[in-house]
Structure 1
Amino acid sequence: MSADISKGAGQLSAKLPVIVRPVDQARIDRYAAASHDFNPIHVDPEFSKTGPFGRPIGHGLMTLAFVSQMLNEWSDGAFDACGEIDITFIAPVFAGDVVEVTGEIEGKVERDGEDCLRVKLLVSAGGRQILAGYAIQPVGA
C-alpha cells in the first residue's frame, strides 16, 4: 500500500498512529463519573474482589474511546463523522495496565458505492489482546 491514500483535499497515511494510555484507578473513576457508570465492578475494589476478575476493571467503552481517538487522529477527525467499527472485547483492562492502540490497513473495500479502507484494530495491554475488530473509513471523507 502506498504511503498515503487520497482523501479529498487531504491524505490518509498508510501508517496509523500508536496511542498509549496508562490506566490507573483514578482514570477508571474519572471515566465512571463522565459516563455515569458507577457499577461497583469498576469503582469498588472490595466489591470487585468477589467478582470474576478479583479486582476492578476498566470500562470497555473507555478502551473503545482510546480506539476512537487513534482513528480520529489518523483521519483528521473524519472517523467520528462517517467511520464504522465492529469490535469484540477479548479481555479486561485493569488498573496498572498500559493500553496500546494502533491499526493496520488490510485493504480497500466498497461500501454503498464508496471506496473505503478496512483497518484491523490492534489493542493490547501487558502483552494481552484486549479488543479485536476492524474499522471502515471512507477514503474521500
Structure 2
Amino acid sequence: MKTIDRWFEDIEVGERRETVGRTITEADIVLHAGQTGDFFPHHMDAEWMATQPAGRRIAHGTLILSVAVGMTAGDINPQAMSYGYDRIRFIRPVFIGDTIRVTAEITEWADHPQRPDAGYVHELVSVVNQHGETVMVLTHLYLVNRRRTA
C-alpha cells in the first residue's frame, strides 16, 4: 500500500475501481461466527440446511460486507475517512466456495453542512459472485477534506 493525498476536489463522479476475486471458505464462516457470536444454523448446520430451500450453508451477510469493504481498501488516503454505510442490501446468498468480486463507483458528492473544510463522497459498492449475479450492494460514505484556501 502507498499513501496518496486525494482531496474532495480531486474526486469525480463516475470514477470506478474493480477488485480481483476472493473465494469464501468454510474457515471464513467459522471465524466470523466466532468473532460475532452468530452461530445461526443457516451458517453452521449443514444437515439442517440440507432440508432448507437454499440446500446448503450460507455465509453471514455481515461477513460478505466485511470482506467486500476490505477488498476495496487499497492505497491509504489521509484526506478521507469512512463515514459509514447506507442502503445495505443482501440480494442473494453467498455459499462456501463462491468467489466474489467487488466494483466501487463514485455516484455523488456533496458539501458538508457544517464543515466548509470537508465534503461527503458516496461510493456505490456492488458485489457479484462467479456467475455474475449481484449478491450485495451498499453505499459507502466518505468524509473527505478539502484543500485549504488562503
- Place the TM-score, normalised by the shorter chain, in its bin: 0.7 to 0.9
TM-score, normalization: structure 2?
0.74
Counterparts of 1:40-59 in structure 2, within 5 Å, are 40-59=41-60
Q: How many residues align?
A: 134
Gaps of 5+ in 2: none
- Which gives a bigger RCO, structure 1 or 2 (Cα 8 Å, sep 6+)? 2
Q: CA RMSD in A?
A: 2.8
Higher helix share: 1
Distance in 1, matches of 2:75 and 2:100, equals 18
Structure 1 partner of 2:63: 62
Kindly report which structure 2 residues correspond to 1:45-124, keeping only aligned pairs within 5 A, or say none: 45-73=46-74, 76=77, 79=81, 82-86=82-86, 87-113=88-114, 114-124=118-128
* Percent sequence identity over aligned pairs: 28
Whole-angstrom CA distance in 1 between matches of 2:74 and 2:29: 23
Alignment of 1:121-132 (within 5 A): 121-126=125-130, 127-132=132-137
User: Which of the two has higher C-alpha Rg?
Assistant: 2
- Normalising by the residue count of structure 1, what TM-score does the alignment of the two structures yield? 0.78
Q: Would you say the 8 A contact 1:19–1:66 is kept in 2?
A: no
Structure with the largest fraction of strand: 1
Distance in 1 (alpha carbons) for counterparts of 2:59 and 2:45: 11
